[in-house]
Amino acid sequence: MTEQEWMECTDPREMVRFVRPTTSARKLRLAGCACVRLAWVWATDEPLPTAIEGAEGFADGSVTKAALRRARQEVRKQRYDLGGTDASSRPIGGVCWLAEVLATENAYGSVIDEMHRLSTSLLFLREAEWATVRTLLRDIIGTWWKRVPMDPDWATPTVRSLARAAYDDRILPSGHLGLDRLAILSDALEEAGCTDAAILDHLRSPGPHARGCWAVDLLLGKE
């Protein structure tokens, strides 16, 4: 897949399959988390299950395998408790299943495939929603065709502090990074001497951006 094909691809499944061999487990899990958060918000106004935050924490090493397993069991029970309720409960059944897959130790990479499988029967996702999924994948996977170098001089205490705040203090329940924070971060980065258009333009783009955003990860030294 070329850069142009990546930017124009309309099938998120193909995007994930292409980058899976060269993308870290952390990135792939966080991409799944961002997409399942959105699917949950689209499907129901119920509080997000702990499985989603648990999967995010597991990706970043702050949640143990045992805690991830408990979170998965909780959302599985929630799905089973739906039982034979009416059709209005079906979307939440679908997103509970996605959260359950996301919170597995190894099967999380199939979240996008499962989202696609359920898109016409339970989740009823429209093209605009799939477009958001594609944008999130590009935000997290980043410029795989061109490795953007990180100049240590850019990582001033101010830049690192702003990058950490953007990463931690998200807009909930979507989990999107705040555009105001990213804009301030890009200005501070530019003041630190960064002239790389790929990084600056990405931080100033409308996104959405999510935890795992390649530009923020670069500044925080995350892979």
Q: Is the preceding peptide bond at 91 cis, omega within 30 degrees of 0? A: no
pLDDT, residue 87, reads 47
pLDDT, residue 13, reads 95
Q: Average pLDDT for residues 70-98, to the nearest whole number? A: 81
% pLDDT > 70, the chain:
96
Count Cα neighbours of 199 within 13 Å in the Cβ-side half-sphere: 22
pLDDT reading at 21 higher than 70: yes
pLDDT reading at 89 higher than 70: no
Residue ranges of domains in the chain: 3-141, 152-220
- Rounded CA-CA distance 202/199 in Å is 5
The residues near 62 (Cβ < 8 Å, ≥ 6 apart) are: none
pLDDT, residue 119, reads 87
Per-residue pLDDT band for 218 (boundaries 50, 70, 90) equals: very high
Predicted TM-score (pTM) of this structure: 0.91
pLDDT, residue 92, reads 87
Q: What is the mean pLDDT of the chain?
A: 91
Q: Tell me the CA end-to-end span of the chain in Å, nearest whole number.
A: 21
Alpha carbon 26 to its chain centroid, in Å, reads 10
pLDDT in tens, 142-175: 876 667 778 889 989 999 999 999 999 999 999 9
pLDDT, residue 123, reads 83
pLDDT, residue 6, reads 87
% pLDDT > 90, the chain:
69
Q: Average pLDDT for residues 28-53, to the nearest whole number? A: 92
pLDDT in tens, 99-112: 999 999 998 989 99
